[in-house]
Amino acid sequence: MEKLIQEFSLGLFFWQAVLFIGLLLLLRRFAWKPILNAVNEREEGIRNALASAEDAKKEMQNLQADNEKLIKEARAEREAMLKDAREIKAKMIEDAKGEAKAEADKMIAQAQSAIEAERKSAIADLKNQVASLSVEIAEKVVKSELSDKDKQLGLVEEMLGQATLN
């Protein structure tokens, strides 16, 4: 550094200053404007990108709100469908119970009528058997009574005696 101070020349300094100022003017004319324009364009592009991002964010929020609304509507519709399905199920169960009860009542009535018919048939059959047994017993009694001649004559006289009394 000492060497620089000792060898300092005013003419060299002047020409270096002129060249530096000329270089600055050339840079200002040919380099600074395109550089500043590029920086300004980039800044404008960044502003536009931020504005677009903000618009996209707002649009996303709107879409999200619409999605939430659609989800709520879908849930409400699902609940309504489930409620309708439950009501239809309950109605079907009630209808099936009613049909089953009607069928059971019909079967009970048929069974009761069948039982009544069987009871009447059994009573008629029993009466026939009793009558048949009574006839057989009477036949046997009469046979035994009428097998003996003396008994037959006694029976005839008894019957004649009763006939005259009436």
pLDDT, one tens digit per residue, over 67-83 is 999 999 999 999 999 99
Which tokens sit at 88? Answer: 């239809």
106 in any annotated domain: yes
pLDDT value at residue 104: 93
User: What digits encode the pLDDT tens for the residues 20-70?
Assistant: 999 988 888 888 888 888 899 999 999 999 999 999 999 999 999 999 999
Predicted local distance difference test score (pLDDT) of residue 1: 65
Greater confidence (54 vs 163) lies with 54
Structure confidence at residue 166 as a pLDDT band (50, 70, 90): very low
Count of the separate structural domains present in the chain:
1
pTM listed for this prediction: 0.41
Tell me the backbone φ, ψ of residue 125, rounded to 5 degrees. Answer: -65, -40
Classify residue 148: in a domain, yes or no: yes
Query: What percentage of the chain has pLDDT greater than the value 90?
Result: 57
Phi-psi region of 9 (alpha: psi -120 to 50; beta: other; left: phi over 0): beta
Residue type for position 42? R
Q: Is residue 2 part of a domain?
A: no
Q: Is residue 4, in this structure, part of any structural domain at all?
A: no
Mark out the alpha helices in the chain (DSSP H runs): 2-6, 10-26, 33-147, 149-165
Distance CA 58, CA 46 (A): 18
The reply to whether 47 falls in a domain is: yes
Average pLDDT, the chain: 87
Q: How big is the chain by its Cα radius of gyration, in Å? A: 66
* Non-local CB neighbours of 165 within 8 Å, separated by 6+ positions: none
Token readout for 74 is 């879908």
Whether 112 maps to a domain, the answer reads yes
The verdict on residue 80 lying in a domain is yes
Examine residue 44 and state whether it is found in any structural domain, yes or no: yes
If 0-12 CB within 10 Å is exposed, 13-18 middle and 19+ buried, where does residue 105 land? Answer: exposed
What would the two tokens of residue 36 be? 């500043």
Q: How far apart, in whole angstroms, are the C-alpha atoms of residue 24 and residue 32?
A: 9
In which domain, by residue range, is 68 found?
15-165
Tokens 């996303």 correspond to what residue? 60
